[in-house]
Amino acid sequence: MKKIAVFASGSGSNFQAIADAIKAGKLNAKIGLLVCDRPEAFVVERAGVEQIPLFVFTPGDYPGKKAYEEVILQELKGKEIDFIVLAGYMRLVGATLLNAYEGRIVNIHPSLLPAFPGRDAVGQAIAAKVKVSGVTIHYVDEGMDTGPIIAQQAVQISDEETKSTLQDKIQQVEHRLYPEVLEQIMNKKIGFLPRA
């Protein structure tokens, strides 16, 4: 059974979906650590309820990304983490973690990449008046939502759609799709060629 670390910055709804899938026997993995860069985030409370070990940090307490990622890496090694799962982690992953976990970091993004990368993808889609958005699960590289795509699912946008209603529709897909795809990755049903 693979041990995963979930990285999150906000409410943690995808963290909860993963934890629930594990409890339901739909995902053969164990969450060995939650990493959070915002001590006040609700995901911290969720991890407490699930009795999952935490590493919570404030980036401003460190001289830079390399410094805090080195501390995170020690936490990951100490917990014997096999795989990093980003679930609303609002920071670019740097070389320290990318090199240590090459081909073993995955992210979920609320758009059909390469459309609407970065922050507020749902708001970007509404502003652009597109008819379709969706969900993308991808491996993580040095760029902003640029890594190899693993899976995508479209979400239709109605004429009266608001940011809130679209967010809800996209999250419903995320909460089902992310555990399904993670299960395929953990069972090596989805392959990945590391960076050259």
DSSP for 149-177 reads EEEEEEEE--TT--HHHHHHHHHHHHHHH
According to DSSP, the β-strands at 105-109 and 132-139 are antiparallel
CA distance linking residue 190 with residue 44, whole number of Å: 30
Residue closest to 111 by CA, chosen among 153, 165, 158: 153
Phi, psi of 149 (to 5 degrees): -80, 135
Distance between terminal CA atoms of the chain? 28
Are the C-beta atoms of residues 28 and 185 closer than 8 Å to each other?
A: no
Count the Cβ atoms, other than its own, within 10 Å of residue 20.
14
Residues annotated as catalytic are 109
